[in-house]
Amino acid sequence: MVIDTKKILIISGSARKKGDGYKITQSFIEKLRGGNNFEWEYLYLNDYEIKGCIGCKVCIRKNEESCPLKDDLLNIVNRLNEADGFIFTSPVYSLAVTSQMKAFIDRTNYLLHRPTLIGKPTIVISTTDLAGTKGVIKYLRHIIITLGMRYTGGLGVKMGAYKNNETYKQKTEQKIEKLALAFKTSMDAGNQQRPFFRQALTFKGWQTRMAVTKDKNPYDYAYWSERGWMDADYFYPTTIKWPTKIITSLLKKRLTKVMKEGFIR
Ligand SMILES: Cc1cc2nc3c(=O)[nH]c(=O)nc-3n(C[C@H](O)[C@H](O)[C@H](O)COP(=O)(O)O)c2cc1C
């Protein structure tokens, strides 16, 4: 019997290999493990050279291979493409993601324009001493949805309370359990689940952008056209609820007007 193993990649923005994020992620993995054919791999961004983006936009206007920065970025992206699901994890540094995570997101900006990880279930785990996980989760959720992945939930953990307060710890463990169940359900449902409102809305926003900027960004436009995305409701055939359809088509109209007035370049 062939067992279909699914690969989960944990993309960590922490430089501490056995730190707080690792501890919470391991608890998540333990809750998920029973009976599942999942394979885990940690990718610590800090182990790689990811130079800060210099803003030339060559990856967007031409292609990612033409990026003048030579480092590990494209090798990391190849590893992303091989995975079936993801955990993005970052500690809060000065109320935001770490610089390692931010550099990685900036350098993969072209993937927001030309998504390759469509429908892959993804969760976020963020740890902190006291504050800031809400902002980090919100930010990463936005990025994940724009990358076309399936955002499946997020968890912020205050590590002081987790270590010193038994009630908080127990509540957190219950939340991890819930998140593990949601992730497992999403992994079982596959890569073509019906998009939720925010996913459908984001798709229409980018579709509009591609149409308006097609002469300036022909590489992006060709990517979208070749895949049949320019006339689609979403990245893959699916049913969109009619209220979502109405709202997203109104957004498209409005956005097209605003973008044509010069609010995009
Ligand atoms: C440079 C730096 C900045 C930090 N900024 C914050 C912060 O703004 N708010 C906070 O509550 N904790 C902050 N922390 C604490 C970390 O978020 C916290 O210890 C986290 O759980 C570490 O996770 P890790 O062990 O997985 O790296 C900061 C820590 C460092 C080293």
Nearest-CA residue for ligand 1 atom 17 is: 128
**Cβ of 131 below 6 Å from ligand 1:** yes
Regarding whether 156 and 42 lie in a shared domain, the answer is: yes
Q: Which domain holds residue 243?
A: 197-263
* Nearest to 166, CA basis, from 156, 155, 174: 174
Regarding whether 137 and 209 lie in a shared domain, the answer is: no
Distance CA 178, CA 18 (A): 24
Q: Give pLDDT tens digits for 158-188.
A: 999 999 999 999 999 999 999 999 999 999 9
**Cβ of 21 below 6 Å from ligand 1:** yes
Distance 128 CA to ligand 1 centre (A): 5
- Please state the pTM of the whole predicted model: 0.95
Residues 6+ apart with CB under 8 A from 2: none
Regarding whether 218 and 97 lie in a shared domain, the answer is: no
**Cβ of 49 below 6 Å from ligand 1:** no
**Cβ of 20 below 6 Å from ligand 1:** yes
Residues 6+ apart with CB under 8 A from 14: 20, 21, 22, 44, 46, 89, 90, 91, 98, 100
The predicted pLDDT at position 100 comes to 98
**Cβ of 93 below 6 Å from ligand 1:** yes
pLDDT at 3 over 70: no
The predicted pLDDT at position 1 comes to 58
The predicted pLDDT at position 83 comes to 97
How many domains does the chain fold into?
2
Q: Give pLDDT tens digits for 57-89.
A: 999 999 999 999 999 999 999 999 999 999 999
Instruction: Indicate whether 1 belongs to any domain.
Output: no
Mean pLDDT of the 192-203 span: 95
Residue that terminates a domain, selected from 159, 189, 219: 189
Nearest-CA residue for ligand 1 atom 9 is: 131
Distance CA 265, CA 107 (A): 19
Mean pLDDT of the 219-245 span: 95
Of 17, 22, 125, 128, the one to substitute when testing ligand 1's pocket (max ligand atoms within 8 A of C-beta) is 128
Residues paired with 150 in a beta bridge? 121
Regarding whether 150 and 20 lie in a shared domain, the answer is: yes
Q: How do beta strands 150-158 and 121-128 pair? A: parallel
Nearest atom in ligand 1 to 132's CA: 9
**Domain CATH number, residue 132:** 3.40.50.360
Distance 91 CA to ligand 1 centre (A): 6
Query: pLDDT-based confidence at 54, cuts 50/70/90?
Result: very high
Residues 6+ apart with CB under 8 A from 116: 80, 81
Q: Give pLDDT tens digits for 11-44.
A: 999 999 999 999 999 999 999 876 678 999 999 9
Six-digit token pair at 75?
Answer: 């090798």
pLDDT at 265 over 80: no
Distance CA 60, CA 219 (A): 8
Query: pLDDT-based confidence at 110, cuts 50/70/90?
Result: very high
